[in-house]
Amino acid sequence: MEKPNSKGRILALLRYLQDETNEEHLADKKTIMKALQDKGYSITRNTLDDDIDLFWQEYVQKVTRLCSVDLLPKR
């Protein structure tokens, strides 16, 4: 079986957070790591921190910038 890659791990992390958590049902690192390991991903606390940081830098900040740009023409 081929080892899942880091992009797949980040996507699995995002899917887990989307499907299994909300404002009332939070998840700690241990629970998240177990869920990803159950899917075949090799992950440590440092790897999880790095994945969360990467997601924040690459996606959340870009979406925030895009949402703050006025895309409609001025009248």
The answer to whether position 74 is within a domain reads no
Task: Report d(CA 42, CA 25) in Å as an integer.
Answer: 24
Residue 47 sits in which domain range?
Answer: 6-63
The answer to whether position 70 is within a domain reads no
Task: Report d(CA 42, CA 1) in Å as an integer.
Answer: 14
What is the tally of structural domains in the chain?
1
Quickly state the pLDDT bin for 1 (edges 50, 70, 90): very low
Compute how many other C-beta atoms are within 10 angstroms of the C-beta atom of residue 13: 23
The answer to whether position 72 is within a domain reads no
24-50: pLDDT as tens digits: 999 999 999 999 999 999 999 999 999
pTM exceeds 0.75: no
The answer to whether position 69 is within a domain reads no
pLDDT score, position 75:
55
The answer to whether position 71 is within a domain reads no
